[in-house]
Amino acid sequence: MPKTGTSTAPAAPKRNSTKSPPSAAAPAQAGSALEIKDTRTSKTYSVSVAEGAIRAVELKKIKTADPDDSGLMSYDPAFLNTASCRSAITYIDGDKGILRYRGYPIEQLAENATFLEVAWLLRHGELPNQQEYDQFVHDITFHTYVHENMRKFLEGFRYDAHPMAMLNSSIAGLAAFYPSARNIFDETERNISIIRLLAKTPTIAAFSYRHVKGLPFVYPDNRLPYVENFLSMVARMSESKYEANPVFARALEILFILHADHEQNCSTNAVRAVGSSHVDPFSAVSAGVAALFGPLHGGANEQVLRMINEIGSVKNVPAFIESVKSGQGGRLMGFGHRVYKSYDPRAKIVKRLADEVFKVVGVDKDLEIALELERIALSDDYFTSRKLYPNVDFYTGLIYRSMAFPTDFFTVLFAIGRMPGWLAQWEEMLLDKEQKIARPRQIYIGPPERPYRSKLKAK
């Protein structure tokens, strides 16, 4: 049972780095263009450059004389250098370790804001005033209950179901409960779907936890704030009102804020891609939950703890690091990031948070192993030359574990935090006139046309 209550006190190239945000002082780059000489045809083309990018469709005009040539494509597996959208939500400078939501530095939001304030900010672009905030909190609070059939649905899972699999399918299942959510261009419908997803995700998450533990489900307590209510649904036993440990409640709120958005990461890209088919938001967001489940994305926080358990002791750390470097020991989980090529700014905050939480629960051997891993990796050329620094997942697992959350629940906590980002990005995509159904091109490398000759035995 989580120790959440007072009763249980406890200079590489700038790959994927977002361009500098527009500032009033920055001169417009009118007339900027890229000259491309095609050595196949000796023709020269001019491709316009705006906001540090060329439009990939402009490359189509670069063709050979071959009538079947449909024009030049750009080949970019894993989107290493392709912007898929223009977005006003989150700004990252991976080289400088900067993360801002709608212009506000993550450090200031983590220090001062509430998670629901951040959720509003991400969607609306401005911080809510008191009246907007009160109404928003009220709306979320009164949509925390799920249909009783959702509860039965959750009860159908086996005792050892992974909570991310339960969360993913349950969020997709909400589409069946709210069929009118398919009217995605109706603002009222969009609004209520967003409220429902923010309100019900913690309930479903907590129910999945209780199911695995074989404990009775605890219904939402609408007297409690968002995070405390979630903790109550997770940890409450016979007490009539659950009192969350304030250090844990604030730590979790900060972790939710840190996870709330991260521009075009794998799960957000999944939400946008699936949402671009104009499916309902529950289906689109469940694609994000699925993507987050993977060990290279949100599942990394779980893998960090498993890795630390396997290492077992501080004295085994040097050998483990050597095995990572030789390729025998897998990756150092919780290290490295596609965008951050210096310390992940979220990881700095999480490390400080870990100190506060560990003051309550006491330092354990796993934290000592993590600190030693970090110390050795940060002074080892293998990691520094590849710009591999701790990411947000390196210490979050330790905090969750110290609150006694089970390891396979960590990514669920990430999903609760990321929900406002997925929703803000989904709506931005939907209202963006330039967006169409996401449909990448491919370079076909299979066999040319060939006649069918059965390899089955003659009938």
Per-residue binding letters, 279-318, with ligand CMC (x by CB under 6 A): -----------------xxx-x------------------
| Contact status: 349 vs ligand CMC (CB under 6 A) | no
- Say which of 211, 259, 262, 337 is annotated catalytic: 337
| Residue 304 main-chain phi, psi, to 5 deg | -60, -45
- Say which of 162, 211, 259, 297 is annotated catalytic: 297
Tokens of 44: 């020269």
Which CB sits closer to ligand CMC, 136 or 335?
A: 335
Number of residues that bind ligand CMC (CB under 6 A): 20
Binding ligand CMC (rule: CB under 6 A), the pick from 143, 306, 338, 348 is 338
Which CB sits closer to ligand CMC, 188 or 328?
A: 328
Q: Which of 7, 3, 32 is nearest to 243 (CA)?
A: 7
CB of residue 159 vs ligand CMC: minimum separation in angstroms?
28
Stretch that binds ligand CMC, among 49-57, 99-107, 328-336, 353-361 (CB under 6 A): 328-336
Q: What's the order of all strands across the beta sheet hosting 98-101? A: 90-93, 98-101, 104-105
d(CA 30, CA 103): 25
Distances (CA, A) of 87 to 22, 120, 424, 431: 12, 16, 10, 11
Strand 90-93 to strand 53-54: parallel, antiparallel, or no bridges (unpaired)? unpaired
CB of residue 419 vs ligand CMC: minimum separation in angstroms?
15
| Contact status: 331 vs ligand CMC (CB under 6 A) | yes
Do 90 and 258 touch, CB atoms closer than 8 A? no
Which CB sits closer to ligand CMC, 13 or 216?
A: 13
Three-state SS at 104: strand
d(CA 320, CA 307): 10
Which CB sits closer to ligand CMC, 262 or 351?
A: 262
Q: Running DSSP on this structure, what letter comes out for residue 99?
A: E
Q: Which long-range contacts (CB under 8 A, 24 or more apart) does 453-458 make?
A: none
Residues 381-410 binding ligand CMC (CB under 6 A) are 386, 388, 391-393
Stretch that binds ligand CMC, among 102-110, 128-136, 219-227, 331-339 (CB under 6 A): 331-339
CB of residue 109 vs ligand CMC: minimum separation in angstroms?
18
Q: Is-catalytic flag, 297?
A: yes
Binding ligand CMC (rule: CB under 6 A), the pick from 119, 235, 289, 324 is 324
CB of residue 275 vs ligand CMC: minimum separation in angstroms?
19
Which CB sits closer to ligand CMC, 270 or 361?
A: 270
CB of residue 331 vs ligand CMC: minimum separation in angstroms?
4
How many helices and strands in the chain, by DSSP H and E? Answer: 17, 6
Binding ligand CMC (rule: CB under 6 A), the pick from 128, 275, 288, 334 is 334
- How many Å is the maximal CA-CA distance in the chain? 80
Instruction: Provide the CB-side half-sphere exposure for 348 (13 A, CA).
Output: 12
Q: Is-catalytic flag, 393?
A: yes
Distances (CA, A) of 88 to 30, 78, 102, 427: 21, 22, 7, 12
- Say which of 93, 366, 393, 408 is annotated catalytic: 393
Beta bridge partners of 44: 37
| Contact status: 418 vs ligand CMC (CB under 6 A) | no
CB of residue 106 vs ligand CMC: minimum separation in angstroms?
14
Q: Which of 321, 458, 318 is nearest to 382 (CA)?
A: 321
Stretch that binds ligand CMC, among 50-58, 171-179, 326-334, 351-359 (CB under 6 A): 326-334
Do 210 and 218 touch, CB atoms closer than 8 A? yes
Q: Which of 406, 127, 414 is nearest to 252 (CA)?
A: 414
Q: Where are the beta strands (DSSP E) in 349-441?
A: none
Binding ligand CMC (rule: CB under 6 A), the pick from 207, 293, 335, 422 is 335
Q: Is-catalytic flag, 93?
A: no
| Contact status: 234 vs ligand CMC (CB under 6 A) | no
Residues 248-277 binding ligand CMC (CB under 6 A) are 262, 265
Residue with the closest Cβ to ligand CMC? 336
CB of residue 334 vs ligand CMC: minimum separation in angstroms?
5
Distances (CA, A) of 192 to 100, 182, 426, 427: 27, 12, 14, 13
Q: Please report where in the chains the tokens 């190239």 appear, as a residue.
A: 13
Binding ligand CMC (rule: CB under 6 A), the pick from 122, 254, 255, 332 is 332
| Contact status: 337 vs ligand CMC (CB under 6 A) | yes
Instruction: Provide the CB-side half-sphere exposure for 430 (13 A, CA).
Output: 23
Chain residues binding ligand CMC by CB under 6 A are: 262, 265, 296-298, 300, 324, 331-338, 386, 388, 391-393
Catalytic site positions: 297, 337, 393
